[in-house]
Structure 1
C-alpha cells in the first residue's frame, strides 16, 4: 500500500513545497526583499535534504519522525521595514498568503497520514477491519431484504434488470446456456457507441452475447470524453483495450480517428495547447500525445476565418470590501456577486457579437453570415448559476433556452404559485401569505402591507388581514384604506373560491382555475423571458397531473411533497419552451456532450470542483474498496486508518481526471469562437502581471507537461488553464517571461487574455444601455411575441 498509494502523495507534497518556494524566492528577488529571500532559500535547501532522507527511511516510524519534525521558518524573522514602498508591501502580502497556503497543505499531509505511529496504525487498521466486516454483513442483509420487498411488489430498477440479464447469461443450467447460445448466434456484429461511458457490468453482458472469441465486437469511443463516473462508467476498460490492440501479437485491430471535423483550426490548436500540458496517464488517465491530439480536419472552413479564443479573467472584490457599507442597498449599476459579474460579461459579449453583426461561417449555406442568438451556447460546470444567467439575459434582452435547469423551484413564478397553493391549504402562514399579497396576483406594496399590520401588530398576519377585511364596513375609510380594501376583497373572494375548487375538483383543476381567475399565466408572458416563465407554469400543471395520476391526492400532500424536495435540495428540470431556433442555448457540460455550436462561452471555469465524494466518514472506490473513519467508543473520537486516507487520495485523483475530461468535452463543443470566463479573488492574486507570473511559477521551464504536483493540487479548471497559457509566446510578449522558457516557442495557437473588474463591467453595461431598443422596436417585439403565444394550442380546462 505504501509504494502504490502513500509514497506518491509524499512525493507530490514535497514537489509542491519546492514549487512554492521557487515562486516566493522569485517574488522576493523582484521586490528586493533580502531577508525573505535568505529565509526561503535556506528553507528550500532544507526541503531538498528532507526529500533525500525520506527516500532513505527504513520504516514507518522513522519516516513519520522526519515528516512531523520538519519545521517551517517564521516570517516574523523577515519583517518588512518601515521604509518599504507600496510594491514591496503588496509583494510581502502575496508571499504571506503563499506561505500560509503552503504550510496548510503540508499540515493536511501530516494530519492525514502521520498522526499515528506504526503500532497504533496496525491496531487501528485491525479495529477498522472488524467494523467494515460488520458493515458488509449489514449491507448484504439489507440488499436481500430490499430485493425480496421489490419481488413482492413485482418491481425492478434498471440496475436489477442489468443484473438479472447477466445472471441469466452467466448461469450454467442447460436452459440458460441455450439462451446465451441463441443470442450469440443471433447477432452477426455487436456495435457499441460511446464505449468510454460503459461500466463493467454492461461490458460483461456484451461479452456474454458476443461470439465465442469476442471477434464480432466493434467499439467506438473517445476515452478523453469519458465523463460519467457517477454512473460507474470505467474508462480504464477502454484504456486497457487500447493498449492491448496496439500490440502486434493479437488479432484485434485499433483504428485511430484523430481528425476533428467540427472545429476551426485555431480552436483545435488552443485545445492542444491546454491538454498537451495538462493531460496524461497520471491526471486524465490518457496520454495526450501523438494520435491522441486533435488534428484539424474541417477543411471546409475559409482559410481566412477569424476563430477567436479568449480567456476572460474577472477580478472579484473581497466580501468585506463589497459589504463594507452594510446599511446601504446596492446601487442599480453595482455588481451583486461574482456569478452576476460573469453573467454580465457574457451578456455584454453576446450583445456585442449580435449587435455588431459579427460574422461566422455557415457550412450549410457555404458562406459567411451574421451571427444569431441561436449560434451561441453557454456551457457551465453545474446548473447552479442558470437562474442568474436567466435574470441577466432578461435585462439585456437576450432570448435564452435553459436546458435542464436546476432552478425550477427558485423561479419567481413558481415560488409565487407554491406560496398561493400553501395559503389556499392554510392561510395562517405568514411568509407564503405576504409573498402572495406582495405578488402581482394581489398587488400590495410594502407600505400597504405595513398598514395592515399596524392595525393589528400582534398575532399572525392572516388575522390582521381578516380584522381589516371584516371591520372595513364599520369604519370611516380614507382613500388609501379603500384602495387596499378593493385588493383584499378580491383576494378573499378568490381564496374562498379556490378552496371550494380544491375540495371539489382536485389539485389539477385548482391550478388551471388559478391561471384563469388571476390572469397570472398571461401576466408572466409579458415579463422578461416570458415564454420560459409561461412554460414553467404549464409544467407545474403537468407535474400536478402526474402527481394525481400516481394515486396521490390532496393539496396539503402536494405542498408537503414539494417542500420535502426543496429541503433535500432536490429540484425538477425546467421545461424548455417551444420557440424559434434563435435563442441562446444554456446547458451544463454533461448536457452539451454530443453537441456543437459556432460560438461557445465556457462559464465559471474558476469554480471549485465538487469533491463531495471525499468529504464523508467513509470513502468508496470501485477498485480499492472502502475506507472508513473509525469511531473509538472509549475515547469518543474519530480516527482515520491509513487505508481511508489512501483511498481518499486515489478517489480524489480519479475525480480530477474526470474533471480534466469534462474540460476537454466543454472546449471541443466550439466550432469557430471560444470564450472562457473565470473569476479570481482580486485582492489575493496581485495585479495582472503578478497573476501571470504566479501561473508561470507553477511550470517547469524545460518541460512541456506541467508538474504532477501542480495538476493534482488544482481546485478549478483555471488552475490548469492558467499555467498552460502562461508560457505561450503571445503571453510572454505581453506580460514578460519570468522563467526564461522557450518550450512553446513554436506553438501556433492564437488567443488573448482579457481582464475585467466591476468598474469595467459597469462601463460596458452603460454602453449597452445606449443601444437599447426604441419604443417602436419594443412594441414590434411584443407584437411578435403575442403572435407566437396565440399560435400555441390552448390547454383545455379539466373537467
Structure 2
C-alpha cells in the first residue's frame, strides 16, 4: 500500500483515491479534511496522474493555504518549482498578472488593499454623481458602505452594466404599470423604507417614495460604473477584481481559458461552503470538460457566508454534477464524545437548513479516541470581571496537571476531562475564545494578575493595543499641538511613565487655564506654585519636551516612518522590549512591526509622506472601519491563547473556555446591511430560517469543536449594564437543558484581594520546538551572517526602515522582471512602459535627503535605458522569470524564487539579478562564488528537476556583466549539509529562545557595520 494512504480510514482513502470525475467530500470538524486534501495531492503526484504544476488547490484563507503547502512539502519526497496552492484571490491575482494585457491592465497593476480602496474613493469622491449617498454635511459617511456594496456585487457576479440594466427595467415597469403594487415592487427593490401595504394600487405618496428608491438604486449603479472606470484608468484593481476580472477573462478569452483548462488536470477546493458565487463560477468553468474536481465542505462550519447561505454552493455542486461521488467523513480524531454530542445537539437547531436534512445524510460525529470524558462544564459568575478571574484561577489549577491518561484517582483536583492528570499541561494547550475583540480585555487582565503567560490573537484591534496607542499618540502630538489627550497618553505610557498624579494635575491646570497640555509642559518650571509637579515628574516632562523638539526637527526633512523609527531609537523603547525577553514584549514588537507595515502602505499611496498627512490618513481609515489584525497565532509559543472564535477556525486545543456566553452578546445582535443588494439579483440559495441566528449558532459550534479534552462554558449575570443577563440560549441547546443548573460562584473579599498576589510575576516561558523549520535563502544568509540578526528579522520581525540601496534594487528588479515577462508573452515593452513600472515600484524610504532620492531615481532610469537598449532586440528569451521553488531536507523546508532560468535542452542557466558596484567580471564572479543564494538556487533546481544547472551567476543590471560558475555535485552536497546544520542550529536556538551574537567578518569589518539593527542591538560591535 502507498505510504500516502497509511493511517487513513476507509472513507478518507476513498476520498484520496477517487481520481476521476467530480467528488464532494462532506467533512465534519476534526475528521481530517486537510489530511485528505494534502494526501490526495500527494497521491495524484505519486501515481503520476499529474505533476505538481497541474494541480490547482484553492482555499479560503492564507493560513489554510500555507498549512496545505507545508503538508504537501512533507509528503512529496522531492522539490518542485511551480505549485498552485493558494487562496482564490491569490490565484486570481496570478492569472491577472500573466494576462494583464488581455484585460487592458498595465503589467505592473497595483492591488488596492481595503484602506487604499477607501483612500482612493475619498480622493475621487466628488467625481461621482452622488446625492443621497454623499450628504454634504458628512460627505464620507457612506464610503465604506458603498465599497461593501461593490464588493457584494462582485461576489454575486454582477457587473455595473448588469446593475444599471436592472434599474432601468424597474423604472420602465414602474412607469408603464400604474397598478404595480407595493408588494410587487418591494420584492424587486428590497428593502423599501416604510412601505408594507398590500393594496392592489399605490397612492401618490407611495409612488413618490418608490421613485426616490429607484433613484437611489440608479445612483448606486452609476457610482459602481464610475468607480470601475476611475480604477481602470489608474491601473488599479481591488480584491473583488481578483476574482471578477479572472472570471471575465475566462468568459471572454476562450484561448486563455483553454490553456488553463489544459494546464490543470485536477482541481481541489477546501472550505467550499465559504466560497461565494463568483468563486464557484471560476471553479466550474475551469473544471470542464473532464470535471476532475474535488470540493471539501462542512455547512455547519460556515461562518463567512452572505446572509447565511451556508449550503448554497454545495447544493449547486450537486445540481451541476448530478453523478458526483459523495464521501462523508464523520470519524473525529480531535475531541472526546461528550463534546461532540453537545455540538451535535446545538447544531440540529439549524434544521432544516442543513445538508444533513436536505440530503438525508448522517453527519453525527463519532470520536475515535477511547476516552469517555466529561461533558462541557459551566462557570457562572456574578460579574464579568469575576468570570475572568475564575477562568484564570481554573487555568492556574489545570496547568499543574495533564490530560493524557486514563488511570483512576480519588483526587478530584487532579482530574481534567475525566482523566487523571500526570504531566504538566502546557499553557499553549489552552484557549480562551471570545465572540468579539473587546471581550478579551478582562481575561487578559486576569491572566496578567495571575502571572499566567498569554497572548491575544485578534482578527482586528491593532490600533487599540497599548504600544500602538502610544506610537499614535506620539505622531499626533507632533502633528497637532492642540491634542492634549494624545500628549497625555504619550506622557503616561511605558516609554515615559509620568506619575499619574502629575499627569492629572497638569491636564487639570491646562483645562482651567484654557490652554493645551503642550503649553503647560513647555512652561512647567514657570508655573509654580500654582501648579505643583514632583521633581521626578518635572524631569520626565523635560525629557518629553526635548524629545519632541528633536523629533520635530527630524520631521521637517524626513518621512513619517523615519521619524517614528528615530523616536523608537532615541527612547530606546525597541531595545528595552528586545532585552526584556518575554512573550508580552515579543508580542509588542510584532504589533509595532505591523504598524510599520501600515506606514509603508501609506507611503506607497501618498505623495505627501509627512507626519500630518499620515495622521490625517489614519483618522480617515479608522473612521471608515479599518482595524488591522493583531499578531498572528504562533503554536510554538507556550502561552494561553486568547482569541476570537473566527481566528480559532481550523485550530484545536486540549482545553477551551468559551466565555461571556450571555444573550445579546452570543448570539450578538443582528446588524443589517447599510446598502443591501436587491433580493432579485441574489443568485444564491438563502436559508428559510433566521439566517443571523443560524450563523451565530454555527460560530458557537466552531468554538465548541475546537476542544479536544475539556470544554468550559462561562458567563456572568452582571456584564456592566443595567439589566441582569441571561445565559446564552446556545448553552442550553448544547447541554439539552431548558434552564441552566450551574451554581453561582462568588469570590469572597479575601479571594478577590488575593487575585493580585504575584501580579506581574509571569511564569518562565518556553518556546515549543517547531515541527518544521521553513527557510529562504535570505534567512539562511542572515543566520550565517549573525544568528542574532536572524532573531531580529525572522523571529521577532523587528520593524526597520529599509536601506535606500534595497529600495533602489527592488524597483530595478521589478522593472526588469516585467520586461522579461512581456518578452516571454511575445509582447514588446517600450522604454516609457519600463520606466513607469520602475517608478510605480519606487518607495520613498531610507534616502538621506530628497536630493539623494531624486538622483538615485534618475540613476535608475539611466540604468534601465541601457538595459532596454541591450535587451530589446535580443532573441534570448527566458524560460522562467520569478518562478517559485520549494524542496524539503528532512524536517526543513526551503522555499524561494528564481529570478531567471534559461533552459535549452539539458543545458540550464540560473541567473540572479543584482545592482552591484562591481565594474569588472572577475570581481562579479568572485561575489557569485561566495553567494549562498546561488548555491541554494542550484540545489533547488537539482532537487526539483534532477538536473545540476550548467551555470549559476549574477547579472549586474548596472553594467550588463554576468559573472558566475558551474556548480558541481560535491559543492551541492556540501551546501545541503550546511543548510541542514544551519536548520539544526536554528531549531536549538528557537527551543532555548537564545540566539548568539556571532557576526561574520568581511575582511576586518564586522557585519554589524552594515546591519540595519546596529543602533538597537546590545551586542553591536559598532558601539565598541
**Which of 512, 522, 540 is the aligned partner of 1:466?**
522
Match of 2:811? none
- Give the distance between the partners of 1:455 and 1:680, measured in 2 at CA: 41
Match of 2:280? 203
**Which of 725, 744, 763 is the aligned partner of 2:735?**
725
Q: Deviations over 1:504-557 (max 9, x none)?
A: 333223222222322334556769933323332343344334433444411111
Two-structure CA RMSD over aligned residues (Å): 4.6
Structural mapping, 1:307-322, within 5 Å = 307-316=374-383
Match of 2:971? none
Match of 1:670? 707
* 1:660 is the counterpart of 2:697: yes
* 1:444 is the counterpart of 2:498: yes
Q: Deviations over 1:422-455 (max 9, x none)?
A: 2223334322223333344444334434665798
- Give the distance between the partners of 2:657 and 2:715, measured in 1 at CA: 11
**Which of 350, 356, 359 is the aligned partner of 2:403?**
359
Match of 2:599? 544
- Give the distance between the partners of 1:660 and 1:407, measured in 2 at CA: 24
Match of 2:434? 380
The structure in which a higher percent of residues are helix is 1
- Give the distance between the partners of 2:718 and 2:203, measured in 1 at CA: 44
Match of 1:84? none
Paired residues in the alignment total 570
Match of 2:265? 188
**Which of 400, 406, 409 is the aligned partner of 2:454?**
400
> Quick one: structure 1 residues 549 and 391, their matched pair in 2 at CA, closer, same or farther if it must change by over 3 Å?
farther
Matched residue SS, 1:218: strand
What are structure 2's unaligned runs of at least 5 residues? 1-191, 407-420, 767-988, 998-1010, 1017-1021
> What's the CA shift for 1:263?
1.3
Does 1 or 2 have the higher relative contact order (CA < 8 Å, sep 6+)? 1
Q: Is the 8 A contact 2:473 2:487 kept in 1?
A: yes
- Give the distance between the partners of 2:764 and 2:313, measured in 1 at CA: 59
Structural mapping, 1:96-115, within 5 Å = none
Match of 1:596? 652
Match of 2:224? 143
Match of 1:511? 564
Q: Is the 8 A contact 1:273 1:724 kept in 2?
A: yes
**Which of 364, 378, 382 is the aligned partner of 1:294?**
364
Q: Deviations over 1:284-308 (max 9, x none)?
A: 575399744333242xx344x5345
Q: Deviations over 1:458-500 (max 9, x none)?
A: 231333333334x48xx99999765544333333222221212
- Give the distance between the partners of 2:359 and 2:390, measured in 1 at CA: 35
Matched residue SS, 1:156: strand
Q: Deviations over 1:226-267 (max 9, x none)?
A: 22114996522213545898xxxx533222222222211222
Match of 1:435? 489
Q: Is the 8 A contact 2:658 2:714 kept in 1?
A: yes
- Give the distance between the partners of 2:300 and 2:530, measured in 1 at CA: 73
- Give the distance between the partners of 1:590 and 1:189, measured in 2 at CA: 30
Match of 1:35? none
Q: What TM-score, normalized by structure 2, do the two folds share?
A: 0.49
- Give the distance between the partners of 1:349 and 1:433, measured in 2 at CA: 40
> Quick one: structure 1 residues 575 and 389, their matched pair in 2 at CA, closer, same or farther if it must change by over 3 Å?
same
**Which of 560, 563, 570 is the aligned partner of 2:616?**
560
> Quick one: structure 1 residues 687 and 679, their matched pair in 2 at CA, closer, same or farther if it must change by over 3 Å?
closer
Matched residue SS, 2:513: coil
- Give the distance between the partners of 2:375 and 2:236, measured in 1 at CA: 53
Q: Is the 8 A contact 2:453 2:765 kept in 1?
A: no
> What's the CA shift for 1:406?
2.6
Matched residue SS, 2:268: strand
* 1:345 is the counterpart of 2:390: yes
Match of 1:409? 463
**Which of 159, 184, 187 is the aligned partner of 2:240?**
159
Q: Deviations over 1:401-438 (max 9, x none)?
A: 32235332222222222222222233343222233333
* 1:134 is the counterpart of 2:215: yes
Match of 1:252? 324
> Quick one: structure 1 residues 216 and 541, their matched pair in 2 at CA, closer, same or farther if it must change by over 3 Å?
closer
Matched residue SS, 2:326: coil
Q: Is the 8 A contact 1:190 1:216 kept in 2?
A: yes
> Quick one: structure 1 residues 139 and 652, their matched pair in 2 at CA, closer, same or farther if it must change by over 3 Å?
farther
- Give the distance between the partners of 2:668 and 2:250, measured in 1 at CA: 38
What are structure 1's unaligned runs of at least 5 residues? 1-110, 317-337, 627-646, 692-715, 736-752
- Give the distance between the partners of 1:293 and 1:239, measured in 2 at CA: 16
Match of 1:710? none
* 1:620 is the counterpart of 2:687: no
> What's the CA shift for 1:118?
2.9
Q: Is the 8 A contact 1:271 1:664 kept in 2?
A: yes
- Give the distance between the partners of 2:734 and 2:722, measured in 1 at CA: 17
> Quick one: structure 1 residues 379 and 481, their matched pair in 2 at CA, closer, same or farther if it must change by over 3 Å?
closer
- Give the distance between the partners of 1:682 and 1:433, measured in 2 at CA: 32
Matched residue SS, 1:574: coil
Match of 1:281? 352
Q: Deviations over 1:3-32 (max 9, x none)?
A: xxxxxxxxxxxxxxxxxxxxxxxxxxxxxx
Match of 1:704? none
> What's the CA shift for 1:274?
2.5
Structural mapping, 1:467-486, within 5 Å = 467-469=523-525, 471=526, 482-486=535-539
Match of 2:543? 490
Match of 2:889? none
Q: What TM-score, normalized by structure 1, do the two folds share?
A: 0.61
- Give the distance between the partners of 2:536 and 2:488, measured in 1 at CA: 17
